[in-house]
């Protein structure tokens, strides 16, 4: 791939805006160039009047002069579209608390755009509709921010946590990662009460405050891999269903979380783990193909109950 040097210079500027200080080695790694080339990019910024300060020697680094304010932001058409769509997609993450802030941010974005891009974003507001999934759990944005800080600063978090059995416990947690998966947010880290790694659903955290005590998180911790192993215990039903459609017909219409689709008998064998059989039964009825439930028997009972309700509604 060919890179435009001017784009690399702008990338250096963006990295310096985002960080208080960036080492020359990191800039070279991010841009895939030599340290000498990084020096040329920095010199180019300085020639343009951007006050970039440098520290020489081993571990040398660059920063923008403290107090320097950059001119108004400029976006390409794709960047403006990405930002506008991202602001509108907050409901899909269960962050309805942030919607007023998103509207203000959208208005600020619009004011920074030239007329043609402003018209494109305005058209997006008029013609694009994003449906909020019923499976997304609403999340307190302030709680999410606090947990982000706990993980970023390495501060222990003191939680009041409600289990699925409605039992309340006080937990002191070293939060390693905060993850959104399958419609819910989770905090993952070391629980000092249990003396082991645990995951905590944010919608079950009733209080949270940060403590002065700090910790050092493990390097390269994979929270998603841990959740894949841990969460099946929260889904008590092992489901095996055959559907009269090929796997490619179902992909994109089925949650991939703890779900396996494989071809079988001119159709698809779907095995998964779920907590709510009623919502899964509704999915089966709405997928639009014939199916056969092999397990669990509780799912067949839920489907019989739904069939009776449908018959009563039709007779009414």
**Interval 123-171: pLDDT, tens:** 776 677 666 665 678 888 889 999 999 999 999 999 999 987 778 999 9
Render pLDDT for 88-97 as a digit per residue (tens, 0 to 9).
887 778 887 8
- What was the pLDDT predicted at 157? 97
pLDDT confidence tier of residue 211, bands split at 50, 70 and 90: very high
Render pLDDT for 99-131 as a digit per residue (tens, 0 to 9).
878 887 887 777 777 777 788 777 776 677 666
Asked whether the predicted pLDDT for residue 14 surpasses 70, the reply is yes
Residue 48 is classified by DSSP as T
Mean pLDDT of the 218-244 span: 82
Q: Residue 245: which residues within 8 A CB-CB, separation 6 or more?
A: 267, 268, 287, 289
Correct CATH for 141-220 of 2.60.40.10, 2.160.20.10, 2.30.30.520, 2.30.40.10: 2.30.30.520
pLDDT confidence tier of residue 198, bands split at 50, 70 and 90: very high
Read off the pTM. 0.56
Do 158 and 214 form a contact (C-beta atoms < 8 A)?
A: no
The closest alpha carbon to 233, from 176, 189, 274, 196, belongs to 274
Q: Residue 91: which residues within 8 A CB-CB, separation 6 or more?
A: 99, 130, 132, 136
Annotation: CATH topology of 5-64: Arc Repressor Mutant, subunit A (1.10.10)
Sole residue written with tokens 């509604």: 313
What is the rounded CA–CA span in Å between residue 285 and residue 291?
9
Lowest mean pLDDT among 181-185, 268-272, 305-309: 181-185
Asked whether the predicted pLDDT for residue 8 surpasses 90, the reply is no
Annotation: CATH topology of 235-315: Alpha-Beta Plaits (3.30.70)
- What was the pLDDT predicted at 190? 96
Select the more confidently predicted residue: 190 or 15.
190
User: 124-159 b/e with 16+ CB inside 10 Å = b?
Assistant: eeeeeeeeeeeebeebbbebbebbeebbeeebbbbb
Return the domain boundaries, the chain: 5-64, 77-127, 141-220, 235-315
Percent of the chain topping pLDDT 70: 89
- What was the pLDDT predicted at 133? 62
Q: Which tokens in the block code for residue 139?
A: 């999340």
Select the more confidently predicted residue: 19 or 26.
26
- What was the pLDDT predicted at 71? 60
What is the rounded CA–CA span in Å between residue 161 and residue 164?
10
Render pLDDT for 234-293 as a digit per residue (tens, 0 to 9).
567 899 999 999 988 887 777 766 788 999 989 999 998 887 888 889 889 888 899 999
Percent of the chain topping pLDDT 90: 31
Which three-class secondary structure state does DSSP give residue 163? Answer: coil
Instruction: Please give, one letter per residue, the 3-state secondary structure of 62-121.
Output: EEECCCCCCCCCCCCHHHHHHHHHHHHHHHHHCCHHHHHHHHHHHHHHHHHCCHHHHHHH
β pairing state of 22-23 and 267-274: unpaired
Q: Residue 199: which residues within 8 A CB-CB, separation 6 or more?
A: 186, 187, 188, 226, 227, 230, 231
């Amino acid at each position: 791939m060919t890179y435009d040097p001017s784009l690399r210079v702008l990338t250096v500027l963006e990295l310096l805006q985002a960080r208080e200080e960036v080492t020359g080695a990191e800039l070279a790694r991010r841009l895939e160039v030599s340290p000498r080339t990084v020096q040329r990019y920095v010199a180019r910024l300085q020639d343009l009047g951007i006050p970039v300060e440098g520290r020489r020697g081993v571990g040398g680094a660059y920063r923008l002069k403290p107090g320097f304010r950059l001119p108004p932001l400029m976006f390409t058409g794709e960047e403006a579209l990405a930002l506008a769509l991202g602001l509108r997609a907050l409901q899909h993450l269960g962050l309805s608390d942030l919607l007023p802030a998103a509207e203000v941010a959208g208005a600020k974005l619009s004011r920074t755009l030239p007329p043609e891009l402003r018209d494109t974003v305005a058209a997006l507001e008029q013609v694009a509709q994003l449906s909020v999934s019923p499976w997304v759990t609403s999340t307190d944005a302030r709680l999410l921010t606090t947990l982000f800080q706990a993980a970023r600063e390495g501060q222990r978090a003191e939680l009041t946590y409600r289990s699925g059995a409605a039992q309340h416990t006080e937990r002191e947690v070293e939060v390693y990662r905060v993850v959104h998966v399958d419609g819910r947010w989770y905090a993952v880290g070391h629980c000092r009460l249990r003396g082991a790694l645990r995951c905590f659903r944010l919608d079950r955290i009733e209080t949270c405050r940060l403590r002065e005590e700090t910790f050092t998180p493990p390097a390269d911790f994979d929270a998603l891999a841990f959740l894949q192993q841990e969460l099946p215990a929260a889904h008590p039903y092992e489901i095996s269903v055959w559907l009269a459609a090929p796997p490619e017909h179902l992909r994109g219409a089925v949650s991939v979380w703890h779900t396996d689709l494989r071809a079988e008998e001119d159709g698809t064998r779907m095995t998964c783990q779920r907590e709510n059989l009623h919502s899964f039964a509704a999915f089966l009825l709405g997928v639009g193909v014939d199916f056969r439930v092999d397990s669990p028997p509780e799912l067949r009972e839920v489907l019989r109950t739904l069939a009776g309700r449908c018959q009563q509604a039709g007779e009414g």
